[in-house]
Structure 1
Amino acid sequence: MVRTAVLAVVVVVLVVVVVSVAYLLMYAKPRGASTYPVNVTDALGRVVVINAQPGSIGIVSPDCAQIIYALGFGGRVNLIDTYSLQLLQYLNVSVPGNVTVLHSIWPAPNIDKVILAHPSLLCADAGFNYGLTKYLGQLAAANITVVFINGTNNVDLSGIESDVMLMARVLGVPQRGEAVVSGMNSVINYVKSKVSSEPRVTVVFLAWYNPIYAAGNSSFIGYYITLAGGYDPVGGMYPTITPSQLLVINPDYIIASNFMDNYTATLEAILSIPGINETNAAKEGHIYILGDLATSLVEEPGPLSVYGALELAMIMHPGAFGITEVPHFITAQWVIDNVKPSLNLTIPSG
């Protein structure tokens, strides 16, 4: 009788264990995953409730695209802007042909097209898509949840990391967010290690020539110039400076976006600035113009921007990376061959 009772207890325990294991396998969340609903505070200070992992995602800025794809959710994108699409094409990332493409996103995308595409989540840039705020009621009524990242309002790496972790929580994958942040820091540490013993050079980054718009040392670009081993003497965010001020600065390097959409035209515009030929940059042949991909990496504050810091470092200190010559027009092919940007946030080799 005692033996029978013991066997009965053993059987009951085994049944409980089997049922418990089966439950865990079927219903337990992966380690690091979020349990919904999730409350997040976005870049506008709004508390947004995410009731379930988004089944479809809309993107209206390239920094959002970088984050969504780096987190591994590109397959759920059903709405994207043309600038993000171009960036992904440079990286050989395929986007389905039936995805809705928005050709205008500043200061807000076409709301009718957004509602028609009906993503369950819309990622927006608080700095670039600021006009979207007046449509939040319409989007909510259409059951489209909008989350704003800080985006182009960021002035340093920590802001981008916060954006990554915000969207990682929204998507229920905080550990993936941590992995992306870790990859970003690996690239930045690689850049720092390469330029640590290099002499600092004075750099002016031009966004326009008449009047002269320059990225100041308080801007995101100025921050990366410093990380890349340069010195940006222009104060503020994106001030205008006079030709006389540019001559006083006397930069060793002038780096510019391709603001005329043509290398020759952009170079001629820069060389038309009075006194420009008296600068060290002109005398030493250190005027560089960035093509579309090169500009995206430097100007768009998403995870891939760490490659913008690497790109700047390679322009200013090519010898530190074993580069013998840098072209004056930084094409997409040069970036792919040398900077090797990747949504996996890997350090380039070879």
Structure 2
Amino acid sequence: MADNPSIIEQAEFPVMVTDAAGREVCIERKPERLVSGYYITTSMLIALGQEEKLVGIEAKADTRPLYGMAAPKLLDLPNVGTAKVFDLEGCAALRPDLVILPLKLKESINALEELGIPVLTVNPEDLPRLKETIALLGTATGTAQRADSLLKCCDEMQTFLVETIPQSERPSVYLAGNSSYLSTAGSEMYQNTMLELGGGQNVAAELEDPYWAEVSYEQLLAWNPQIILIASGAGYNKEDLISDPNLTSLKAVQDGRVYTMPSSLEAWDSPVPGALLGSLWTASVLHSSFYDSEAFQSDVADFYRTFYDLEIDQAILAR
């Protein structure tokens, strides 16, 4: 589903872009020193071939398997904190040409701009905004053609899902969060898009929380989903969930339809460049007669070969 993006780009600067905060930002010259304060944009920059220009990234980089596989030098870079606690001074000390931050860190913009450092904010919490973020970074880093190849791949995966998965057969699905199986994603989170594109009906779509929402046993029992998916990187396992005596009456538990999303590459249930792979995985679980695990593994290998120059051992997807 992916074209080869190996393109030598001759982008012209300055460029004017609009970020997630609605700010018009002029980037005077092609950035040579990048700071990414968000794992999603770090992954995007790797996919855009910009890993060598990164001089600082978000904290906890060692928890991102993809970095070690595709761009191991990133693990040695200084970190600039988290989305909750951003290291403004540490970031400035890296002398970046461009800083990319999640929208929730927009309060840091003024301080960085006062130092003459251009800043872009992103908020890729649904599929259209994910695509906008890819296009934004492509323009801002002079890699628009490579970004277009990535966007084309995303569009092809989306079209495949819409045309292949029957809309009349949409089982009810509960996505158990990574911190607790009594947390889940509502309609305002990207995970809802993942479930819907994968051919499921999110039982928690009525929730409008912008982050993981805590739910009660009573609420989960009332929803009584046909299928439970466990988010990637969960701090518990399938056995913990199915052995909870409070959940034994759930249809998904009784039918043995509880599945854990692979987490050995990256979190496909978040809006990373490979986010559509999360929907493909969901489809392979919910609608295996239309799209099976073998086809899924082939598509994963193709995606990471094309955009991350990685050869994926398909056995890794079982972890």
Give TM-score scaled by structure 2 length.
Answer: 0.80
Of 205-214 and 219-228, deviating more is 205-214
Q: Detail structure 1 runs of 4+ shifted over 6 Å in the superposition.
A: 208-211, 335-338
The Cα shift of 1:210 comes to 7.1
CA distance in 2, matches of 1:337, 1:117: 40
Aligned counterpart for 1:344 among listed residues 285, 306, 309: 306
For residue 125 of structure 1, the aligned residue among 91, 102, 106 is 102
The alpha-carbon deviation at position 62 of structure 1 amounts to 1.7
Residue 250 of structure 1 corresponds to 224
The range that moved more, 159-168 or 285-294, is 285-294
Identify the residue that residue 42 of structure 2 maps to in structure 1.
Answer: 65
Gaps of 5+ in 2: 1-6, 315-319
8 A contact 1:254–1:287 mirrored in 2: yes
- Map 1:1-350; keep pairs closer than 5 Å: 34-83=11-60, 86-87=63-64, 89=66, 92-96=69-73, 99-102=76-79, 104-126=81-103, 130=104, 132-151=105-124, 154-155=125-126, 157-196=127-166, 199-207=169-177, 212-234=182-204, 235-238=206-209, 239-257=213-231, 261-263=235-237, 267-268=239-240, 271-272=243-244, 274=246, 276-290=247-261, 292-293=263-264, 296-299=267-270, 301-323=271-293, 339-340=300-301, 341-342=303-304, 344=306
Matched AA of 2:123: N
Say if 1:298 and 1:92 are closer, same or farther in 2 by CA, change over 3 A.
same
Cα offsets for 1:104-149 (capped at 9, x unmatched): 41224222221222221111111xxx2x333333322443221111
| Aligned 8 A contact 2:198 2:282 in 1 | yes
Structure 2 residue matching 1:344: 3-state secondary structure: helix
Report the CA distance between 1:243 and its aligned residue.
2.3
Deviates more, 1:188-197 or 1:163-172: 188-197
Query: Between the two proteins, what is the percent identity of the paired residues?
Result: 17
Contact kept in structure 2, 1:205 and 1:215, CA below 8 Å: yes
Residue 203 of structure 1: SS of its match in structure 2?
strand
User: CA separation in 2, counterparts of 1:286 and 1:103?
Assistant: 41
Cα drift, residue 281 of structure 1: 0.4
Report the alpha carbon displacement of residue 70 of structure 1 after superposing the two structures with TM: 1.9
* Mapped partners of 2:289, 2:72: distance in 1: 37
CA contact (8 A) 1:212 1:240 kept: yes
How far is the alpha carbon of 1:52 from its aligned partner? 0.1
Code of the aligned partner of 1:75: E
Q: Deviations over 1:150-177 (max 9, x none)?
A: 23xx22x211111111111212333332
Structure 1 residue runs without a partner (length 5+):
1-29, 325-334
CA–CA separation in structure 1 for the residues paired with 2:266 and 2:274:
11
C-alpha deviation, 1:315, in angstroms: 2.2
Relative to structure 1, the CA distance from residue 197 to residue 158 in structure 2 (aligned partners, 3 Å threshold; closer, same or farther) is: closer
Letter in 2 for 1:342: Y
Counterpart CA distance in 1 for 2:59 and 2:142 is 27
Check the 8 A contact 1:219/1:236 in 2, yes or no. no
Higher helix share: 1
Structure 2 CA distance for partners of 1:183 and 1:208, relative to 1, 3 Å: closer
Q: Aligned letter for 2:254? A: K
Q: Alpha carbons of 1:98 and 1:68: their partners in 2 closer, same or farther (altered >3 Å)? A: closer
**Mean alpha-carbon deviation: is it higher for 110-119 or for 221-230?**
110-119
Q: Distance in 1 between matches of 2:232 and 2:193?
A: 20
Distance 1:98 1:343, change over 3 A: same
- CA separation of 1:208/1:310 partners in 2, compared to 1, >3 Å: closer, same or farther? closer
| Counterpart contact for 2:17–2:26, Cα < 8 Å | yes
CA contact (8 A) 1:311 1:339 kept: no
Task: Please give the TM-score of this superposition, normalised by the length of structure 1.
Answer: 0.73
Give the number of aligned pairs. Answer: 298
C-alpha RMSD of the superposition: 3.3
- In structure 2, the CA distance between the partners of 1:40 and 1:106, relative to structure 1 (3 Å rule), is same
Change (3 A) 1:295 1:33: closer
- Give, as a single letter, the amino acid of the residue that structure 1 aligns with 2:221: L
**Residue identity matched to 1:165:** A
Choose 1 or 2 for highest CA Rg: 1
Give the secondary-structure state (helix, strand or coil) at the position aligned to 1:92: helix
Q: Compare 177-186 and 235-244 and name the one that shifted more.
A: 235-244
Q: Which amino acid aligns with 1:72?
A: G
